[in-house]
Amino acid sequence: MNITFPEILIALLVVCMIGEVILAAMYLRTRSLSMSEYWGWALVIVLVPLLGPFLAIATRPGQAAGPGQAGLLNKAAQRRAWPRR
């Protein structure tokens, strides 16, 4: 099986695009967004393959989740947690 140069470039492009999507999704987890805002940005990231992840990070949507605040996934975990006494 001979792998051609264009096939290698396509494979590298796909790997880079997947990496960008993962990085952008990890960044959005640290922002304080509503569920609809999170899914909207997730759609931009996936549907606009090369520019979407860059836009999601560059525009800094929502407020930064500081040390006392929880990001989107942490808020859901806190709602399910037992009440503190």
Supply the mean pLDDT for the chain.
76
The string of pLDDT tens digits covering residues 30-51 is 888 888 888 888 888 877 766 7
Q: How far apart, in whole angstroms, are the C-alpha atoms of residue 63 and residue 45?
A: 19
Q: What is the pTM of this model?
A: 0.54
d(CA 65, CA 8): 39
Q: What share of the chain is helix, strand, coil (3-state, %, to 5)?
A: 65, 5, 30
Angle between helices 5-29 and 35-47 (to 10 degrees): 170
Mean pLDDT of 44-73: 69
At 81, the pLDDT band (50, 70, 90 cuts) reads: low
More confident site: 76 or 1:
1
